Amino acid sequence: MGRKAKFDDTIVPSGRGRKAKKQGDPTFPKGILVKEEKELSHRQRQRARKRLLKKQNLNKKLTKLEKTKGKKEIEDTLTEDYEKCTTCYKLIEKINNLANIQRMTSMEACLLACTDKTKDDHHEQFVQISLNQYQSL
């Protein structure tokens, strides 16, 4: 039957058996039921202050980087797209000169691959296919 503890300060009748009648209420150490918050030590306060300062400095640097990075990313993507288009154009010209492939369809495929950012893999595949065609000649 076990112990009949009085946690809510009400009297609970003891159950049957010897142990239920003999066993007393449980006692807990002071800190377990009621948690006492201790004051932070000097060193812990210093560490916490240092952590906060680091976070604030990081946030400041990130905001500065985001402002400058936004402008740079736009310029970088434009130059990358331009470079991809020029390399494709050069490859296509070599292929067209040697194999007389239709110029319009290959240029359209190159431009579609270069303008859409999600089609970077397609762009690489197109360049590989055109290189293979060039080498086979």
Which residues touch 13 (CB under 8 Å, ≥6 apart)?
Answer: 4
Res 43: pLDDT:
94
Residue 113: CB atoms within 10 A of its CB come to 20
Phi, psi of 26 (to 5 degrees): -70, 145
Give residue 133's pLDDT: 60
Question: Quick one: pLDDT at residue 62?
Answer: 84
- For the chain, how many residues are written? 137
* Contact indicator for 53, 83 with CB cutoff of 8 Å: no
Rounded-to-integer distance, Cα 87 and Cα 92, Å: 9
Can you tell me which residue has the tokens 């067209």? 96
For residue 34, the model assigns a pLDDT of: 74
Count of C-beta atoms within a 10 Å radius of residue 91 = 19
Residues of the chain with pLDDT under 70: 1-15, 17-24, 70-137
Q: Are 91 and 130 in contact (CB under 8 A)?
A: yes
pLDDT cut 90: percent of the chain above it? 10
Helices (H), ranges, 1-102: 18-22, 30-33, 42-99
Give the separation between CA 70 and CA 18, rounded to whole angstroms. Answer: 79
Predicted structure pTM score: 0.29
3-state secondary structure of 34: coil
